[in-house]
Structure 1
Amino acid sequence: MKNLKVLAFTHKHVELKDLGNLVICNEDLESRLINLKHSLDIPEIFYIGTCNRVEFVFYGAHELTHEFIADFMGKLNFCVPQERLQCYLGQVNKYEGM
């Protein structure tokens, strides 16, 4: 379980209107997650998107450093300016080693 990781963006830390920028539509979901898995060597990943949260649950030996999370988010190709993406990095809840 030490390699189970969660990156969570919730309405408690991100404005609801801004959470919408992190939602991945069904048509793009599979290809984006496969690309992420291959580029960051993540064996398994699960995406949860609801009206008040976006979460990524995955398995991997990575430490959830600021640099790793920035790379993770960048590879998902969200259609937001780089400076906005940087704001999200300060609003993420991260869980590991549970």
Structure 2
Amino acid sequence: RPRPDWFLFTDGVAAGPPEHPGESPEQVGARADRVLARIEELLRTADGDVVLVGHGHFQRVLTARRLGLPASAGALFTFETGTVGVLGEEHGRPAVVGWNTRTL
């Protein structure tokens, strides 16, 4: 069925067959929060560089959550194929320090 006003970051992923039940933006945000919680200790260490590789849409939500934004704010970040996003800190607060770059 057509959904002309559908938008991934506000409407989520539509449910499909039982093995693909769909996911709301809040559920994706909760999944991103779990990833961030798992790497938090690594980020606090002196050499706290962590590399995460994943699907661009999820990385956009992960970025929003790291910055303290709602999952739907992932829509504010475009991610080109084959590029790198670098998150860090400025004055002790999470910040985007590089985006859509092809090198580190």
State TM-score, norm by structure 2: 0.29
Higher share in strand: 1
